[in-house]
């Protein structure tokens, strides 16, 4: 009778370990899927930010070109968008 009880307990422990392994694998797969999705989101945001920066640079050039006649009238030096602004002394 004791051998039967021991075998039943061992079978229950083995089934528990199998269930734990399957459950762990599913959680790992779910986490991997989440990390992959987040990487895709970060890449998309990076491209969006890069596009917005390019757009703003281009708009700055357009505004500078549109304001050039007025700048010449005011005597303001024309600044290229690629040149850095100097800090006042």
pLDDT digits (tens, 9 = 90+) for 11-23: 999 999 999 999 9
Q: What is the spatial distance between Cα 79 and Cα 82, in angstroms, rounded to a whole number?
A: 8
Q: What is the spatial distance between Cα 50 and Cα 43, in angstroms, rounded to a whole number?
A: 11
User: pTM value?
Assistant: 0.48
Q: How many CA atoms lie within 13 A of 20 on its CB side?
A: 6
pLDDT tens across 60-76, in order?
A: 888 777 777 776 777 66
Residue 8 pLDDT exceeds 80: yes
Q: What is the spatial distance between Cα 52 and Cα 47, in angstroms, rounded to a whole number?
A: 9
């Amino acid at each position: 009778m004791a051998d039967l009880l021991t075998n039943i307990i061992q079978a229950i422990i083995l089934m528990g370990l199998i269930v734990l392994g399957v459950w762990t694998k599913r959680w790992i797969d779910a986490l991997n899927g989440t990390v992959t999705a987040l990487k895709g989101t970060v890449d998309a945001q990076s491209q969006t930010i890069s596009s917005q920066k390019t757009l703003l640079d281009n708009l700055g050039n357009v505004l500078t070109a549109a304001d050039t006649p007025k700048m010449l009238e005011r005597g303001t030096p024309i600044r290229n968008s690629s040149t850095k602004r100097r800090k006042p002394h």
